[in-house]
Amino acid sequence: MSIALSLGNNLTTGGIFKPTAVNNTSVNNVTDFAGITGGGTLILLSEQTASASASISFTTGIDSTYDEYIFKFINCHPSTDNVKLQFNFSTDGGSSYNVTKTSTFFQAYHNEADTDTNLSYQNAGHLIQSTSYQTITYDIGNGNDESCSGELSLFSPSSTTYVKHFIAKTNDYYYSDYIMSSFTAGYGNTTSAINAIDFKFSSGNIDDGIIKMYGLVKS
């Protein structure tokens, strides 16, 4: 409707486009293309900003509308030194976060002094049929300039046939001046629909940071 009205306002009474209607082959003055989306488009569904928050939970909007949900966390800063960012799933709208998970975890790191680098598997980061929170970063510092950023993808959370696959990639400022890039993948071993997710640090509050939830439009 908004597109039709905008085009109509740029037509003469004779049905000819006014010169202002076209600018560098683009329709001018159209302000709303919300109804035009294609496969692969990310739709921002929800956004939360931490402020000395014990955790950040998304308890609505995770359903069968999208095949993939992507959570982007930006400069999540812990109140406590040497902690990990973690998450857990819920099948009861957030009443409990205790989905059984099996996962894998590896990381690459490099220190500021350029004296230590490595790429390695981390047993401490994986889960084996556990309901514990899944780690997705290594040990983040709480200095004023220290934080973590990254994203987590959750696939087909509403399926009642398959387990729920997830993949995370993160980057964090390690508490002793390292850059840590972590990679986590696994599945929630449940055929119940996942409809909520909770993020928190392994200890202390999320002092600052933004977490956004997107849906990936079906093709």
Residues 66, 45, single domain; the answer is yes
28-39 average pLDDT score: 57
Q: What is the pLDDT of residue 206?
A: 98
Q: What is the pLDDT of residue 18?
A: 54
Residues 105, 178, single domain; the answer is yes
Instruction: List 209's β-bridge partners, or say none.
Output: 50
Q: What is the pLDDT of residue 21?
A: 54
Q: What is the pLDDT of residue 130?
A: 98
Residues 134, 73, single domain; the answer is yes
- What CATH number does residue 84 fall under? 2.60.120
Residues 11, 72, single domain; the answer is no
> Comparing 78 with 27, which gets the higher pLDDT?
78
- For the chain, the residue count is 219
Residues 54, 3, single domain; the answer is no
pLDDT above 70: percentage of residues in the chain: 82
Residues 149, 181, single domain; the answer is yes
CA atoms lying within 13 Å on the CB side of residue 158: 10
For Cα atoms 33, 34, 38, give the angle at the middle one, nearest 5 degrees.
Answer: 90
Query: Token pair of 182, please?
Result: 């972590």
Contacts of 13 (CB under 8 A, 6+ apart): none
Residues 32, 52, single domain; the answer is no
- Tell me the pLDDT of the chain averaged across its residues: 89
Residues 22, 52, single domain; the answer is no
Q: What is the pLDDT of residue 191?
A: 98
Count up the domains in the chain and report the number.
Answer: 2
Residues 82, 131, single domain; the answer is yes
Whether 196 and 58 have beta carbons less than 8 Å apart is answered as yes
Stated pTM of the model: 0.82
Report residue 218's pLDDT band, with 50, 70 and 90 as the boundaries.
confident
Residues 93, 183, single domain; the answer is yes
Report residue 219's pLDDT band, with 50, 70 and 90 as the boundaries.
confident
Whether 169 and 16 have beta carbons less than 8 Å apart is answered as no
Residues 1, 63, single domain; the answer is no
What's the rounded Cα separation, in Å, for the pair 160 and 126?
25
Residues 42, 27, single domain; the answer is no
pLDDT tens figures, 133-187: 999 999 999 999 999 999 999 999 999 999 999 999 999 999 999 999 999 999 9
pLDDT value at 198 more than 70: yes
pLDDT tens figures, 94-135: 999 999 999 999 999 999 999 999 999 999 999 999 999 999
- Which residues form the domain of 23? 1-36
